[in-house]
Structure 1
């Protein structure tokens, strides 16, 4: 089979290689699917050329690339409206174009509706897969070409010769309708009224024209809109702000309230987090997120999940007019599909039309609830029903992602009920549990820098600034910051979830409740966090897997938890996976100086270890329950002291207007 060389003459803006549906099956360890943000335009471009719908192609933002080929090649340009030329001669979008050998395909800059433009090429791009996909995840620095955007002079080989017999046109009625005033179909849930938002909040959400903020990207589209009233004072152990919850899995397309700031999560967004999401964009409408640009407005249109278009569809039902034509209001159930009354209550929450979030018990930190979710996870994984795509555990939950065209939600609910009937008691849980001892540079200079950036670029008057550790001390009623140090280094943190902030990042909590320092999360979130910063949010500790946004209160920095040398085995990392930690690992810390940490990080990057010590073991929930009973009195004494400090901080926030003015969306962005 012949091979054509494609050369990048001009890369365009943020041009990456993507495929569809992207990197599936790794949500539980914080690896997003990536793939085209507007899958509709991307897939139609491939169909026009006779390619498989998901074949690798190029995505750009606002301005496309200039490309040459050393043999005749068919291409198709779709997405946002842009000028297209071949050797200076005008060419059309949405139809196959023959680019003669040596000619230059030039995809210009959009000056109309839409943001992202796609170039698909007939044949197969010779791009190495990473975890089963060629899709580029630039924040993680993997996939595509070198894990990043294209640059001038890049060469990609295309397998296959130009073949006019497979070409087809894309009917006008199948093409996405681009606008600056969007209506986007959403389903209720997972977290709506009355538990999290007021009824008035939900009415406002559906009546508001939200504006797209310029600080938006593939991780999420930030919106400008009214601040919720909220239906509760705070998030309890999950944090001081009412948006804070015990971490659970997110869905792509969820409207995530990070504090008071609404963000539509994109295909490069986080898989796990501790903020509420009142509505979720249905799968067939998520292509619109890729075409939203700064200044556009969005009106959310609630629809019944059963009325959502099939994700596999590429026809008129996926055009922009869909919500208006077919909308019949939401399901009217506040996003709760069903409740099950039992010794451990179960709530089944809707998260779009392709996810069910199974939540156990009350909104509290209880390892028995995590054990229950783990047992459910194992059972469904063993059954492996056709149409199951992902299983992602949270603190007290399990998100089940399916292809609803293959495994309808109604069928899934029946399966979940059957499995629930047969689950053993959580107290029987005994799982492998390694002890993972890691270095920690306390109050590391990189975290100090992140706080300064936050104060200069986002918010200078936050209660947790200028020093997060002092804020942690104050919120927990400790006498000195040295007490914070002693508490963190005395704790054994059990890993309850992975991917809390991407790439195997753990969400962990101390096994001894007397070591559980409770904080709140940044409102709004930081725009930059150093890789492997260590922070506390709610009652949970996280190691950030990579640079990116974040909201946990910093205590320091450690070594890498993701093997960037994968698939090569490296130091403490196992050969079969690039992530260091496992569910139910127990993390403990030993102190190092900042300079020593930099040496250890360099060793890890070079594959020489990095100061991590791992010892095998196991965890028994029954033994842990005995420990809690034996230490009941001192645990309750600590919690009482902590509650007094927590209430005092909340009172101070209220007096300062923190809940009414300081965190409002307009000021925050």
Structure 2
């Protein structure tokens, strides 16, 4: 798909500006969306109510009685031009390790309840199906492919705190898995799921249509803000975060859950500068450098 050279600007009533960077998700489009959002936030314009970057677009809510729509559109156009013209496309972000118990009994039990009439493959579980559609030998090979490369949080939404995760590998190496034929009415909280080209972590228990591969050990949404990682905000992930899944066994999962209950758990994370051009030019080499930054903590 050809990348749009300029964004498409449309309006939702008199309070919303929608900026479509591209029709389809790509690393470049998402970088532009997040960069415009960060630059607009830094402007601290009076009248901006909310800024919501998405996979390949941006939604801005504003108060037209304070900020005229013409002024907002002009500012965003200027920021878009600056981002596109920049020869040093760098996003200040962080890389985070997310412990996951793959092939766990909770998601497997849920999946078993929703095979007939909901799923493409009545036999086996979601991991078996994902391995099959990706031409892999078995579930273990799929798990390895899922956790060995980092992922970009392209947007946060659907339910509070749920991250959409885009695999940072060459396009032809990306895993792809179709969603359930019909959405489930139940998904365990912290389920690691997959639909299309996106992985995710379900922040709360509820309905869902993504394939289920495991369960994360620590919360990503904490309304009580009891854990130190949530001191600033009840939602953990931010667009632009880099995620590295770490497979854990049941004993390690239980140990982390005990730390969460005691209020002592902290995510392993470190700040990094994400260089778009380097990531596009040498995906494998850049992936190694990201993982080295996390391993160096």
Do the two structures share a fold, i.e. TM-score over 0.5? yes
Distance in 2, matches of 1:428 and 1:362, equals 24
Cα gap change, 1:452 to 1:613, in 2 (>3 Å):
same
Three-state SS of the structure 2 residue aligned to 1:617 is: strand
Matched, 1:384 2:40: no
| Match 2:219 to one of 543, 560, 568 | 560
Partner residue of 1:413? 73
The C-alpha deviation readout for 1:328-379, integer Å capped at 9, x for no partner, is xxxxxxxxxxxxxx9623122444553232111342x321111211221123
The C-alpha deviation readout for 1:123-170, integer Å capped at 9, x for no partner, is xxxxxxxxxxxxxxxxxxxxxxxxxxxxxxxxxxxxxxxxxxxxxxxx
For residues 197-346 of structure 1, the aligned pairs below 5 Å read 344-346=5-7
The C-alpha deviation readout for 1:32-69, integer Å capped at 9, x for no partner, is xxxxxxxxxxxxxxxxxxxxxxxxxxxxxxxxxxxxxx
Distance in 1, matches of 2:81 and 2:49, equals 23
1:381 shift after superposition: 1.7
Distance in 2, matches of 1:411 and 1:614, equals 38
| Match 1:496 to one of 154, 178, 185 | 154
The C-alpha deviation readout for 1:561-591, integer Å capped at 9, x for no partner, is 123441x4x25x1522233333333222222
Cα gap change, 1:600 to 1:551, in 2 (>3 Å):
same
Larger radius of gyration: 1
1:393 shift after superposition: 0.8
For residues 386-405 of structure 1, the aligned pairs below 5 Å read 386-404=46-64
Distance in 2, matches of 1:577 and 1:461, equals 36
Distance in 2, matches of 1:409 and 1:557, equals 44
| Match 2:114 to one of 454, 458, 467 | 454
Distance in 1, matches of 2:69 and 2:180, equals 35
Distance in 1, matches of 2:265 and 2:118, equals 41
1:556 shift after superposition: 0.4
Three-state SS of the structure 2 residue aligned to 1:546 is: coil
Three-state SS of the structure 1 residue aligned to 2:246 is: strand
The C-alpha deviation readout for 1:582-621, integer Å capped at 9, x for no partner, is 33332222222235423312321321216x3223322111
Matched, 1:487 2:145: yes
1:518 shift after superposition: 0.8
The C-alpha deviation readout for 1:485-530, integer Å capped at 9, x for no partner, is 1101211112222235322x22112211365211222343222211
Partner residue of 2:182? 524
Higher helix share: 2
Matched, 1:541 2:199: yes
Report how many aligned residue pairs link the two structures: 282
Question: TM-score under structure 2 normalisation?
Answer: 0.82
C-alpha contact (below 8 Å) 1:368/1:426 kept by paired residues:
no
| Higher RCO structure (Cα 8 Å, ≥6 apart) | 2
Distance in 2, matches of 1:522 and 1:404, equals 42
Matched, 1:469 2:127: yes
Three-state SS of the structure 1 residue aligned to 2:265 is: coil
Cα gap change, 1:624 to 1:351, in 2 (>3 Å):
same
Partner residue of 2:236? 580
C-alpha contact (below 8 Å) 1:465/1:471 kept by paired residues:
no
Matched, 1:614 2:269: yes
The C-alpha deviation readout for 1:159-217, integer Å capped at 9, x for no partner, is xxxxxxxxxxxxxxxxxxxxxxxxxxxxxxxxxxxxxxxxxxxxxxxxxxxxxxxxxxx
Partner residue of 2:22? 361
Cα gap change, 1:397 to 1:602, in 2 (>3 Å):
same
Three-state SS of the structure 1 residue aligned to 2:282 is: helix
1:542 shift after superposition: 0.8
Partner residue of 2:290? none
1:426 shift after superposition: 5.8
C-alpha contact (below 8 Å) 1:525/1:550 kept by paired residues:
yes
Distance in 2, matches of 1:622 and 1:345, equals 19
| Match 2:97 to one of 437, 452, 456 | 437
Distance in 1, matches of 2:163 and 2:81, equals 30
Cα gap change, 1:629 to 1:439, in 2 (>3 Å):
closer
1:478 shift after superposition: 1.8
Distance in 2, matches of 1:397 and 1:494, equals 16
Q: Unpaired runs of 5+ in structure 1?
A: 1-235, 237-341, 632-669
C-alpha contact (below 8 Å) 1:531/1:545 kept by paired residues:
yes
Three-state SS of the structure 2 residue aligned to 1:601 is: helix
Distance in 2, matches of 1:375 and 1:448, equals 39
Distance in 1, matches of 2:43 and 2:249, equals 48
Distance in 2, matches of 1:374 and 1:574, equals 22
1:537 shift after superposition: 1.4
